[in-house]
């Protein structure tokens, strides 16, 4: 299945997927027709049947059709979001797209209206820090108005996402070889040209990642630690120019592979967010040659990659150090983030 952007006029509203939306919103068919030239994210299966639909819109001003009204502000509105879950992580992939758009459009707030009966959808938004602030009353009934403030840290790492709490955090450079990097972080830009990550449609784009490695020192990882992801050379040229920092994440949890009581427990922990196939995971479990298992949130891809040469010559990073897993200073992190043109609004000191 593939997540693509399509104009409304190229989406089949007769697909059974839209039946519940047509039933919930009396004006849905008319509204859909008016949006003919607008684009939405559409998730289709191998039979071209719709399994997910996400429409986003940037707004400026007050929101006066809810009670109480929302004050004048630039916001991203989640206009329509529906998922046929079927055990997939599509909801979290849509969440990632929502936050990508919010940062790209430099909004301070995201809002969505949801009928109370849609408990699973409400739980998904709540998981990522949305809270109810108002209600919307129409001929269709009463909807809850959920808001996500993009300027304020919340009480958990995931509820705060994509913000990064930098206060008293350790910062590390973590290297990945190109094979794993491509699988794990598909929207990290791998050219020197600035690019718009909003256009990325990779199936592997998600908030959470699980990775296994054997590098010394990884057992030091603690929740909240910051990771600068470093893709090692692809051997297309000197590592000085081809090894690059590409993105940042925040550690959620570290575990030793030996902390899992069984293969089944290990597989169930890794499978949802791992880049590795079941066969690869099974091999890792049998051999225990990658003892470090950690989960992290994928907070931002750099708009521009930062080369090993820059980090050595301009940012003072020791070329003789072990670049597999290396502690960075806050100043070094700031310089890398600036060179990578990362959205600094996600950094909270």
Mean pLDDT confidence for 97-117: 94
312 shares a domain with 196: yes
Nearest alpha carbon to residue 336 among 174, 103, 168: 174
79-91: pLDDT as tens digits: 999 998 765 678 8
| CATH number of residue 302's parent domain | 3.10.590.10
232 pLDDT tier (thresholds 50, 70, 90): confident
- pTM of the predicted structure, to 2 decimals: 0.89
44 pLDDT tier (thresholds 50, 70, 90): confident
pLDDT at 161: 97
Mean pLDDT confidence for 167-183: 86
70 shares a domain with 205: no
Which of these three, 127, 152, 177, is where a domain ends? 152
Phi then psi for residue 25, to 5 deg, are: -120, 110
Q: Which of 21-35, 152-166, 170-184, 314-328 has the lowest mean pLDDT?
A: 170-184
165 shares a domain with 148: no
User: Inter-axis angle of helices 90-104 and 119-127, to 10 degrees?
Assistant: 50
Mean pLDDT confidence for 118-125: 94
Which of these three, 120, 152, 184, is where a domain ends? 152
Give me Rg for the CA atoms of the chain: 21
pLDDT at 60: 96
Mean pLDDT confidence for 109-133: 96
pLDDT at 189: 47
221 shares a domain with 87: no
Q: Is the pLDDT of residue 95 over 80?
A: yes
pLDDT at 327: 96
54 shares a domain with 183: no
187 pLDDT tier (thresholds 50, 70, 90): low
Q: Is the pLDDT of residue 198 over 60?
A: no
169 shares a domain with 130: no
Which of these three, 152, 179, 197, is where a domain ends? 152
191 shares a domain with 297: yes
242 pLDDT tier (thresholds 50, 70, 90): confident
Q: How far is CA 235 from each of CA 194, 232, 242, 313, rounded to the nearest angstrom?
A: 22, 9, 7, 21
276-309: pLDDT as tens digits: 889 999 999 999 999 999 999 999 888 888 999 9
238 shares a domain with 316: yes
252 shares a domain with 124: no
Domain residues for the domain of 212 are 160-348
| CATH number of residue 95's parent domain | 3.40.630.30
The number of domains in the chain is 2
pLDDT at 236: 66
Q: Is the pLDDT of residue 252 over 60?
A: yes
Question: Which is higher by pLDDT, 232 or 290?
Answer: 290
313 shares a domain with 166: yes
Q: Is the pLDDT of residue 178 over 70?
A: yes
104 shares a domain with 52: yes
254-265: pLDDT as tens digits: 999 999 999 999
141 shares a domain with 212: no
Question: Which is higher by pLDDT, 45 or 164?
Answer: 164
195 pLDDT tier (thresholds 50, 70, 90): very low
Mean confidence (pLDDT) of the chain: 89
């Amino acid at each position: 299945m593939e997540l693509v952007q399509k104009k409304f006029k190229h989406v089949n509203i007769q697909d059974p997927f839209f039946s519940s939306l047509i039933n919930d919103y009396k004006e849905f068919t008319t509204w859909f027709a008016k949006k003919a030239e607008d684009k939405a994210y559409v998730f289709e299966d191998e039979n071209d049947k719709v399994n997910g639909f996400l429409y986003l819109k940037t707004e400026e001003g007050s929101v006066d059709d809810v009670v109480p009204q929302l004050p004048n502000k630039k916001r991203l509105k989640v206009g329509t979001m529906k998922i046929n879950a079927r055990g997939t992580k599509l909801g979290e992939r849509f969440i990632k797209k929502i936050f990508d758009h919010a940062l790209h459009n430099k909004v301070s707030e995201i809002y969505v209206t949801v009928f109370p009966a849609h408990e699973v959808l409400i739980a998904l938004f709540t998981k990522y820090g949305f809270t109810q602030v108002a209600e919307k009353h129409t001929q269709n009934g009463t909807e809850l108005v959920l808001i996500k403030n993009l300027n304020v840290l919340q009480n958990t790492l995931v509820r705060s996402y994509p913000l990064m709490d930098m206060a008293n955090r350790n910062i590390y450079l973590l290297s990945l070889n190109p094979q794993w990097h491509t699988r794990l972080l598909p929207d990290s830009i791998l050219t020197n040209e600035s690019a718009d990550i909003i256009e990325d449609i990779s199936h592997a784009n998600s908030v959470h990642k699980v990775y296994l490695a054997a590098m010394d020192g990884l057992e030091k990882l603690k929740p909240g630690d910051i990771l600068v992801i470093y893709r090692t050379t692809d051997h297309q040229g000197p590592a000085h120019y081809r090894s690059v920092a590409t993105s940042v994440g925040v550690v959620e949890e570290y575990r030793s592979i030996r902390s899992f009581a069984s293969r089944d427990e290990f597989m169930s922990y890794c499978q949802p967010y791992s880049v590795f196939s079941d066969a690869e995971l099974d091999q890792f479990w049998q051999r225990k040659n990658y003892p470090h298992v950690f989960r992290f949130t994928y907070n931002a891809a750099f708009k521009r990659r930062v080369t090993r040469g820059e980090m050595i010559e301009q940012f003072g990073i020791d070329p003789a150090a072990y670049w597999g897993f290396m502690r960075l200073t806050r100043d070094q992190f700031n310089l890398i983030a600036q060179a990578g043109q990362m959205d600094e609004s996600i950094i909270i000191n």
